[in-house]
């Protein structure tokens, strides 16, 4: 009976995350292009503005993730997830009719606030997963993101060819449908005995990050995750601009490439990872994943035609094991009554990376394609990300203890 409830809970949260990410995936192929159209100027100038827009979103996630994670430790995961989904749905309609860049920034503030509910969603997974299966089940998050990006970017790329505003309307409808779905079918996962009183001090994002220093293993893994997430923001920051500049891709072609990313990520994290993580162990999976991603980033930076990009996406998909493995190692280090706090802190790390990385990576991209360079190097952000991933592997492996055979 308990196992059945666990599987049901995982199914509910997987579908919720999938529908949520579907709405996000719809706007990915067109947001950077819409900023470029609204702002005017060259690609290098638009890249700078877009980078700060992503950073604002992540700043709000950083501030709100520990608040929502700690709040979910007291009142439960379900209400936090549902309220955030409702706000996200309304925000898409605001973005659909935003007349100026200032309104886009307002929309990203709201989106970042509601997007912080990922901490409650990951805590939900921790609630219904036994410790030895948490790393594999955290892979469901990647699978939901992957499946969402299979359908979402394809729809966004198709609709974006007709109007860069239309995908926001569709995303709003889908997200509010997700909210209605959750109201009726999403059960609560947090047992009464595992709840704890909400504290504003505990919800302080800086305090939640300080808590990561309680042990060398958690701190080392946290630093590794921060470096990994800094590197991974290269996709959100420059993918659309890079492929458009170097290969002449429009919304439709960008959408197709993200569909391939979604298919491979869903297969690796939703199926293959659940087979390989228990077999390899979290430490080995982390090392293999990070190594593969370093090779993938260098390949992206060097690829001189779009066909090579697809081969690299397929090769690099195995790198998706690294994040769940690192989360699993960290999750084992805290009690059942602190999973909400830990996942909130991890989400804050991701958001902190998002505050730093997009302006930095878009600035690198803009500089290396500008007239200031005698020979443009559009792949520079990917080379930089490869260095960050290599550093993440070094730091994390110093503290990750080999599993006992």
| Contact by Cβ (8 Å): 59, 355 | yes
Instruction: Tell whether 145 is covered by a domain.
Output: yes
Instruction: Tell whether 358 is covered by a domain.
Output: yes
Q: What's the pLDDT at 391?
A: 95
Instruction: Tell whether 195 is covered by a domain.
Output: no
Q: Considering only CA atoms, which of 300, 310, 324 is closest in space to residue 263?
A: 310
CA distance 169 to 165: 7
SS3 sequence of 83-105? HHHHHHHHHHHHHHCCCCHHHHH
Instruction: Tell whether 194 is covered by a domain.
Output: no
Instruction: Tell whether 6 is covered by a domain.
Output: yes
Instruction: Tell whether 190 is covered by a domain.
Output: no
Q: What's the pLDDT at 402?
A: 62
Report the number of distinct structural domains present in the chain.
1
Domain of 14? 2-183+202-399
**Distances 158 to 29, 107, 152, 307 between C-alpha atoms, Å:** 9, 23, 10, 20
Q: What's the pLDDT at 1?
A: 41
Q: What's the pLDDT at 202?
A: 65
Instruction: Tell whether 370 is covered by a domain.
Output: yes
CATH number (domain holding residue 227): 1.20.1250.20
Instruction: Tell whether 91 is covered by a domain.
Output: yes
Q: What's the pLDDT at 129?
A: 77
Distance of CA 69 to the CA centre of its chain: 16
Q: What's the pLDDT at 356?
A: 92
Q: Quick one: DSSP state of residue 132?
A: G
Query: Residue-wise pLDDT tens for the chain (405 aa)?
Result: 445 455 555 777 787 778 777 777 787 778 777 877 777 666 777 777 888 888 888 888 788 877 887 888 888 888 888 888 888 888 889 988 888 888 888 988 888 888 767 778 888 888 777 777 777 777 777 777 777 777 888 888 888 888 888 988 988 888 888 888 888 877 787 877 778 777 677 677 777 677 788 777 788 888 999 999 999 989 888 898 899 889 998 888 888 888 888 788 878 877 888 888 888 888 889 999 999 999 999 999 999 888 899 999 999 999 988 988 888 888 877 776 677 778 778 877 877 888 899 899 999 998 999 888 888 999 999 999 999 999 999 998 887 766 554
């Amino acid at each position: 009976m308990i196992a059945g409830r666990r599987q049901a809970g995982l199914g509910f949260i997987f579908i919720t995350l999938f529908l949520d990410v579907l709405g996000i995936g719809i706007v990915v192929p067109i947001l950077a292009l819409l900023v470029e159209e609204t702002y005017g100027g060259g690609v290098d100038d638009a890249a700078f503005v877009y980078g700060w827009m992503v950073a604002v979103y992540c700043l709000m996630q950083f501030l709100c993730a520990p608040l929502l994670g700690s709040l979910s430790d007291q009142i439960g995961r379900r209400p936090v997830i549902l309220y955030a989904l409702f706000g996200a749905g309304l925000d898409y309609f605001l973005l659909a009719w935003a007349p100026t860049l200032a309104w886009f920034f307002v929309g990203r503030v709201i989106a970042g606030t509601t997007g912080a509910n990922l901490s409650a969603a990951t805590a939900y997974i921790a609630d219904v997963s036994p410790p030895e299966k948490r790393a594999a089940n955290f892979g469901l998050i990647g699978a939901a993101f992957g499946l969402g990006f299979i359908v979402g970017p394809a729809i966004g790329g198709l609709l974006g060819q007709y109007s860069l505003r239309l995908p926001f309307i569709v995303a709003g409808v889908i997200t509010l449908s997700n909210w209605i779905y959750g109201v009726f079918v999403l059960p609560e996962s947090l047992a009464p005995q595992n709840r704890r009183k909400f504290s504003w001090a505990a919800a302080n994002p800086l305090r939640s990050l300080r808590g990561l220093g309680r042990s060398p293993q958690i701190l080392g893994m946290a630093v590794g995750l921060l470096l990994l997430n800094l590197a991974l923001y290269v996709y959100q920051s420059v993918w659309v601009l890079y492929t458009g500049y170097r290969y002449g891709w429009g919304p439709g072609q960008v959408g197709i490439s993200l569909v391939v990313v979604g298919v491979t990520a869903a297969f690796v994290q939703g199926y293959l990872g659940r087979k390989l993580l228990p077999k390899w162990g979290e430490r080995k999976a982390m090392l293999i994943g990070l190594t593969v991603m370093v090779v993938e980033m260098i390949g992206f930076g060097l690829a001189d035609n779009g066909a090579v990009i697809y081969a690299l996406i397929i090769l690099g998909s195995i790198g998706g094991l690294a994040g769940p493995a690192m989360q699993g190692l960290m999750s084992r280090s805290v009690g059942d009554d602190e999973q909400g706090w830990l996942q909130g802190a991890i989400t804050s790390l991701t958001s902190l990376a998002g505050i730093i990385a997009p302006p930095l990576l878009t600035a690198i991209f803009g500089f290396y394609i500008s007239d200031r360079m005698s020979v443009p190097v559009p792949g520079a952000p990917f080379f930089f990300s490869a260095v960050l991933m290599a550093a993440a592997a070094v730091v994390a492996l110093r503290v990750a203890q080999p599993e006992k055979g």
